[in-house]
Amino acid sequence: MKQSVKLVAGNWKMNGLGASLDEVETLKAALAEEASACRVALCPPATLVERMAAICAGGPVEVGGQDCRAEASGAFTGDIAASMLKDAGATLVILGHSERRQGYGETNALVLAKAEAAVAAGLSPIICVGETLAQREAGQAVEVVREQVIHSLPLALAGQAFAVAYEPVWAIGTGLTPTLEQIEEVHRAVRAAMIERLGLGGAEQPILYGGSVKPDNARDILSTPEVGGALVGGASLKAADFLQIIRAA
Ligand code: PGA
C-alpha cells in the first residue's frame, strides 16, 4: 500500500516558556541546512502556539495544538477552540491523547466531536489511540485499539489530511517500548480499522508510533512496516534529540 510522506511530530505537553523557543530557532536553523525527508511538526502549549508559528512561518516546521474543544465558541472557561488554534498559526492538533482520555475522562465520542471541529476549522487532527498495560497483558491490545479507531474517527475525515497515532499508554514517558513486531501488528490493525471506517479515505494517511521514541530507537521504529512517523514527547523538547529522530525518518 502506498505510504504518504512520514510525519515526525513533537508533543511538548505542559513544558515550555518563551525561553524554550531558542530550541525552535536551533531546529529551524538546522533544517535550513539539510533537507529532511519527512514532515516535521511541534505541538507546544497553547501559550506558545502563536510565537512558535511566527518563528516557523515559511519554513518546514508545522505547528500544532495539543487539544481543542468540540464547540466553536461559548462559555467554556479555560478551553480553546479549533478556530483559535488556527487563528494563532497552528495547522495541526493532537486529539485524544491518553493523558486526556485518562486524566479528563475523554471518550471516543468526545474525541470524534473534537476531530470534526478541527476539520471544520481547517486543522489536521492527530488522533491518538493505545492500550493500557492491563489490556496488553490480557491480550486485548489489537481489539482495544481497533475500537478506538472505529469510534474516534469522524466520517468527515475521509478525503482530509489527518494522522492516527498509536501510543501504548504503558510506553509513554516510561522508556519502555513494544517490540517492532508488536508495533507492526497494531499498526496493521489500525490501518484495517481506518479503511473499515473511512474506506479509501483511510488507506494512506500516516499512522504514527508514539511512546518513548528516542534518538537510539527511532531508526528501527520508523523503518517498521506501516509506521508512517512518530509522535515524540520528552525527546522533542531539545532540538538536538528531536533532530536525530527527524534524521532517522
Ligand atoms: P514520550 O511521550 O515520547 O515522552 O513517551 C509520547 C507522547 O505522549 O506523545
pLDDT band for position 36 (cuts 50, 70, 90): confident
In the predicted model, what is the mean pLDDT of residues 134-159? 97
> What 3-state class would DSSP assign to 41?
strand
78: left (phi over 0), alpha (psi -120 to 50) or beta: left
pLDDT at 35: 82
Residue having the nearest C-alpha atom to atom 7 of ligand 1: 233
210 in contact with ligand 1, CB cutoff 6 A: yes
Domain ranges of the chain: 7-248
User: What's the CA-to-centroid distance between 75 and ligand 1, angstroms?
Assistant: 31
Q: What is the mean pLDDT of the chain?
A: 96
Instruction: Confirm or reject: Cβ of 211 under 6 Å from ligand 1.
Output: yes
Ligand 1 in contact with 61 (CB < 6 A)?
Answer: no
The catalytic residue among 23, 167, 187, 226 is 167
Question: 74 in helix, strand or coil?
Answer: coil
Q: Classify each residue of 19-29 as buried b or exposed e, where b means 16 or more C-beta atoms within 10 Å of its C-beta.
A: ebbebbeebbe
Nearest to 221 by CA among 171, 184, 172: 184
Integer Cα distance of 55 and 78 in angstroms: 26
Instruction: Tell me the three state secondary structure of residue 126.
Output: strand
pLDDT digits (tens, 9 = 90+) for 57-68: 999 999 999 999
pLDDT at 91 over 50: yes
Which CATH superfamily hosts domain 7-248?
Aldolase class I (3.20.20.70)
